[in-house]
Structure 1
Amino acid sequence: MPHIQVQATPGLAGRTEGLARELHHSALGCGHFPQGGVRTLVYPSSIGMAGPEEWDAHYVQVFVRIAPGRAEDVVQEILETLFTVLKTVVEQWKAGGLRVGYQLELSEFDKARVRSGGVIAV
């Protein structure tokens, strides 16, 4: 853990790989996850809209799922670390003229309802 999922409107398709890499490396570097446990996936949208269609607006949403059991201050640190990455990258896009909204949602999975194949060997 964590599992990071990036979803974005189609107009951001060429940009989401860089965002995903930044999020992935930040999760690896924050010191709260096993190196082989960080997984990041990008789900490109073939259809997506944000605001009135004539605005040519875009939207990116990041979902982060972590294992339960961490202290609340650690969870908040993880949230703020990853949100800062998202905000920084999106602000760069906006500086280039794009109209982009964004959100990051962090949740803990329920251990009773999840089974996993384990950590990838490092």
Structure 2
Amino acid sequence: MRITVKLIQHDLLEDKKQILLETNALYDGNTLRYREENERGSHQVYFGDDCISFERKADVHTKITLFDDKDGESVVDSQYGKMYMQTRLCHAEKCDTYWSVEYQLIMNKEVVLHQNLRWEFTPVKNI
């Protein structure tokens, strides 16, 4: 199904919110696919029962995997090599009109990122 998605990022360490993008997307209930407006990167978000993952493919390839019952992993692959970080899912919500994921990235036992991502969905109306 074609939808419009708005991605809102809330940095919980600095208490800053911003809209990262609003674009058209493909949505099938568990997977969301969209491209950045400048066509530089493609995104795929999977929201399953026991695993959530989001991936950005561009000059820098990033994949974050989150689990309900255990820590996951973030992999950033760039021209400088691969960087790995531990991930921790704090809270997740999945409904027909939005997905919301609060998670942390941990490096050397320290939280380096704590954010909430919220994908809001609007059906594309046929003319």
Q: Which gives a bigger RCO, structure 1 or 2 (Cα 8 Å, sep 6+)?
A: 1
User: Which protein shows a greater Rg?
Assistant: 1
| TM-score interval (norm. to shorter) | under 0.3
Larger strand fraction of residues? 2
TM-score of the aligned structures, taking structure 1 as reference length: 0.27
